[in-house]
Amino acid sequence: MTIGVPKEIKIGETRVSLTPNLCRRVIALGGDVLFEKGAGRSAGFTDDEYKAAGATVVASAARVWKESDFILKVKEPQAGEFALMQEGQTLFTYLHLAACPELAKELCRKNILGIAYETVEGADGSFPLLKPMSQVAGRLSIQIGAYRLQSQLGGSGVLLGGIPGSMPGHVVVIGAGNSGAHAVQMAVGMGARVTVLDLDTRKLEALDQEYRGRVVTLMSNPANIASEVADADLLIGAVLIPAARAPIVVSRKVVRQMRPGSVIVDIAIDQGGCVETIRPTSHEEPTYEEHGVIHYAVPNMPALVGRTSTMGLTQATEPFIALMVQKGVERALVEHPGLGRGVNTRGGRITYDAVALALGFEA
């Protein structure tokens, strides 16, 4: 098996899908690695490290795509990469196809075996390849939101932790999954007033116990969302339905009730976002203002900390990559049902029901 690692070209992307250590393991297991020159630089890895690990470093992405039967990436192929994809290739990466209909069509047209990180399951039904990046995004959301609240950036000028004699800022987190829980952790650590809303009472109970009542926990319903969001200095959208489009839980009407200079960070933007007024932004132009509220919706937030994100991601993907190198892709998919559930496209069809439903395709 030849694993190809092209350089990520999504705007602002700094992660790489293969570290030198993981490359060394792939080679030891009998695989070959074709690595695009400079693909690891922004994550702090040099081409010489990959050469020392046994990879063949080449100058062009076109060669990586053409000569590899297995493409390993971080982010979904961009429009400029569609022409490089080879008929029948295997692609292992974050796909988020519910928000990318054109990519879904192209993968089907070229009979790509598309294995999505975000739908690979663990034995307990968890999503182990989504977890580390959700954790990073959750923690970053508070860091980013606190920064965007600064007066010089058009924010309301609220310090999340406040000072003695003044009220701390109010952070509202909708969704208590991995990203939401880590957002709560960071917000509490900064001294903010924190409210979290979710439909799962077990998650709310766990947060209540962890923070000993320091965090306000509420059931997620339209009335509670409307009242809490109107009082929020920083709103974090952290709603996830695996592989499907995120539901809109914050309406435009509710956003209009927020104070001028408040900030929204929608972590769910990879799946379309959970705030009605949200649209994707980029690291080059990360924010826009609507109804007096600052919106931040960069789909690849973890790229802000490329080194940490790369280490977290590759530690999670390594067992699955090793399994496919050892046993071959087809046998690995059969013997590891959780990996098999990562398959989103195969034989020209969308094979993951939630994705097919979101896109209006037949599964």
Q: Do 187 and 330 share a domain, yes or no? A: no
Q: Tell me how many degrees the CA angle 96-291-253 measures, rounded to the nearest 5.
A: 75
Query: Which residue segment(s) compose the domain that 344 sits in?
Result: 2-120+306-359
Tell whether 252 is in a known binding site: no
Residue with tokens 């599964």: 363
CATH number at residue 166: 3.40.50.720
Whole-model pTM over 0.85: yes
Write out the two tokens for 5: 């690692």
Place 358 in a pLDDT band, splitting at 50, 70 and 90.
confident
| Boundary of a domain, candidates 266, 299, 332 | 299
Report whether 220 belongs to an annotated binding site: yes
Does 282 lie in the same domain as 189?
yes
Could you tell me which of 257, 238, 258, 254 has the C-alpha nearest to residue 246? 238
CA atoms of 185 and 289, how far apart (whole Å): 27
Closest CA to 89 of 118, 68, 117, 74: 68
Q: Are 312 and 337 within one domain? A: yes
Catalytic residue among 96, 182, 295, 336: 96
For residue 266, indicate whether it is catalytic. Answer: no
The predicted pLDDT at position 363 comes to 60
Question: pLDDT tens across 129-174, in order?
Answer: 999 999 999 999 999 999 999 999 999 999 999 999 999 999 999 9
37 is in an annotated binding site: no
Is 124 marked as a binding-site residue? no
Residues 70 and 174 in one domain: no
266 in a known ligand binding site? no
Q: Is the pLDDT of residue 58 over 90?
A: yes
Q: Whole-angstrom Cα distance, residue 181 to residue 212?
A: 15
State both tokens at 181.
Answer: 């829980």
| Percent above pLDDT 70 for the chain | 99
Nearest of 187, 185, 238, 195 to residue 216 by alpha carbon: 195
Whether 47 is covered by a domain: the verdict is: yes
Q: What is the dihedral of CA 47, 51, 55, 58, to 10 degrees?
A: 50
Task: Provide the H-helix boundaries in 149-200.
Answer: 178-189
pLDDT computed for residue 282 by the predictor: 95
pLDDT tens digits, 212-260: 999 999 999 999 999 999 999 999 999 988 778 899 999 999 999 999 9
**According to the annotation, is 301 in a ligand binding site?**
yes
Choose, from 32, 233, 266, 270, the residue flagged as catalytic.
Answer: 270
Question: Would you say 32 is a known binding-site residue?
Answer: no
Q: Is residue 88 part of a domain?
A: yes
Using a 10 angstrom Cβ sphere, with 0-12 exposed, 13-18 middle and 19 or more buried, the burial of residue 68 is buried
- Residues paired with 342 in a beta bridge: none
Nearest to 272 by CA among 119, 97, 23, 137: 97
